[in-house]
C-alpha cells in the first residue's frame, strides 16, 4: 500500500513537470509569433491534463504559471494598445476563464470517479457489488492456480433480517446492514473482499487463506457480530457456508454453488452457524 501511494505521488509530480514544460513551450512559441495572435486557448491544454491526471491543486499551480507567463509575455513585448488598462483586463478575463475551466474539469473528473466507484460498490453498505466481486474472484482463482495457494470463500445469509425490518423500520434495517459490513471489515485484510450479492446476502473472499486461518477469522467475526446485535437489540444472527479451496480446477460458479448449499444447510439445521468444507481433498504435506 505504501509503495502504491509513493508511486501515485511520483506520477503526480511527473505530470506537474510535464505541465510546466508544456506551458514553457507555449510561452516560447507565443513570444516568437505575432504578438497580436492569442495563445490563451493553448494554455488550457496543460491545465486540463494536470487537473485530470494530478489533481486540482497541481492544476492551480499550472494555472498560476500560465498566468505569470502571459503577464511576462505582455511586459516584454509592450504591446501597443488603445487603453492602458486593456492588457490587465485581458489577463484578468483569461485568468477567470481558465479558473472556470479548471473547476469544470475537476468536477467532471470527480463525477466520472464517482460513477466508476458506484459501478463497483454497493451504495448503501460500502461493500463491493456482485459484478465487482465476480471480477475479483476470477482474478484470485487464476492467481491461486498459478501460485498453488489456497483461498477461502464465505457465503453469508443474515438470519431474521425481515424481523429487524418489520419491527424497527426500513431505516433501521439499512443501518443494520451498514453495521454488518462495518463489523466484518474490522477482521479482514486490505486485500480481502466483502461483497453484497443480495438484499441480506454477503460474500467474503479471503485470498491465500487456508482452512485453519479461515476458521479463526470467521470465529472472530461471529463473536463481534453477536456483540453488535445485542448492543443494538437486533434479534439477528447469520448462517454461512464457507469453502476453502486447495484444488484449482474449480470455477467461481462451482465454488459459489457449494458455499450457497452449505449456507442453506446451516439455515435448515437451526441457523446461527457456519458450515465449512474443503474443496479438493486433503492438502499435500
For the stretch 229-261, pLDDT in tens is: 999 999 999 999 999 998 777 889 899 999 999
Dist CA 33 CA 182 (whole Å): 61
Q: For the chain, give me the number of helices (H) and strands (E)?
A: 9, 5
Mean pLDDT of 186-210: 94
| 130-279: CATH, from 3.30.70.270, 3.20.20.140, 1.10.3720.10, 3.40.190.10 | 3.30.70.270
Give yes or no for residue 64 having a pLDDT over 70.
yes
Give yes or no for residue 137 having a pLDDT over 80.
yes
pLDDT score at 277: 94
Of the candidates 228, 170, 181, 235, the residue with the CA atom closest to the CA atom of residue 203: 181
pLDDT score at 282: 43
pLDDT score at 192: 95
Give yes or no for residue 18 having a pLDDT over 80.
yes
Q: What's the mean pLDDT when you consider all of the chain?
A: 86
For the stretch 77-126, pLDDT in tens is: 555 555 566 666 677 788 888 889 899 988 888 888 777 666 788 989 99
Q: What percent of the chain has pLDDT over 90?
A: 48
For the stretch 262-272, pLDDT in tens is: 999 999 998 99
Give the domain ranges of the chain: 2-116, 130-279
Q: Which three cell numbers stand for residue 207?
A: 485470498
Q: What's the pTM?
A: 0.66
Q: Write the DSSP string, 11-61.
A: HHHHHHHHHHHHHHHHHHHHHHS-TTS--HHHHHHHHHHHHHHH-HHHHHH
Amino acid at each position: 500500500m505504501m509503495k502504491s501511494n509513493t508511486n501515485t505521488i511520483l506520477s503526480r509530480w511527473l505530470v506537474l513537470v510535464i505541465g510546466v514544460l508544456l506551458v514553457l513551450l507555449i510561452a516560447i512559441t507565443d513570444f516568437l509569433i505575432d504578438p497580436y495572435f492569442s495563445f490563451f486557448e493553448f494554455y488550457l491544454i496543460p491545465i486540463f491534463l494536470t487537473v485530470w491526471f494530478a489533481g486540482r491543486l497541481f492544476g492551480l499551480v499550472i494555472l498560476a504559471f500560465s498566468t505569470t507567463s502571459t503577464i511576462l509575455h505582455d511586459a516584454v513585448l509592450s504591446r501597443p494598445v488603445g487603453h492602458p488598462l486593456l492588457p490587465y483586463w485581458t489577463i484578468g478575463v483569461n485568468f477567470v476563464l481558465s479558473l472556470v475551466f479548471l473547476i469544470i474539469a475537476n468536477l467532471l473528473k470527480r463525477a466520472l470517479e464517482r460513477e466508476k466507484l458506484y459501478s463497483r460498490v454497493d451504495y448503501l453498505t460500502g461493500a463491493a457489488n456482485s459484478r465487482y466481486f465476480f471480477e475479483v474472484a476470477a482474478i484470485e482463482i487464476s492467481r491461486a492456480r498459478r501460485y498453488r495457494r489456497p483461498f477461502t470463500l464465505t457465503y453469508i445469509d443474515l438470519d431474521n433480517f425481515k424481523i429487524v425490518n418489520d419491527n424497527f423500520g426500513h431505516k433501521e434495517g439499512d443501518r443494520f446492514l451498514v453495521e454488518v459490513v462495518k463489523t466484518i471489515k474490522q477482521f479482514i485484510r486490505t486485500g480481502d473482499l466483502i461483497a453484497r450479492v443480495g438484499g441480506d446476502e454477503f460474500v467474503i473472499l479471503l485470498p491465500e487463506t487456508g482452512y485453519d486461518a479461515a476458521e479463526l477469522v470467521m470465529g472472530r467475526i461471529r463473536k463481534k457480530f453477536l456483540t453488535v446485535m445485542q448492543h443494538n437489540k437486533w434479534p439477528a444472527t447469520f448462517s454461512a457456508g464457507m469453502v476453502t479451496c486447495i484444488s484449482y480446477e474449480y470455477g467461481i460458479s462451482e465454488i459459489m454453488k457449494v458455499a450457497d448449499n452449505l449456507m442453506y444447510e446451516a439455515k435448515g439445521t437451526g441457523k446461527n452457524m457456519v458450515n465449512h468444507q474443503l474443496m479438493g481433498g486433503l492438502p499435500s504435506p
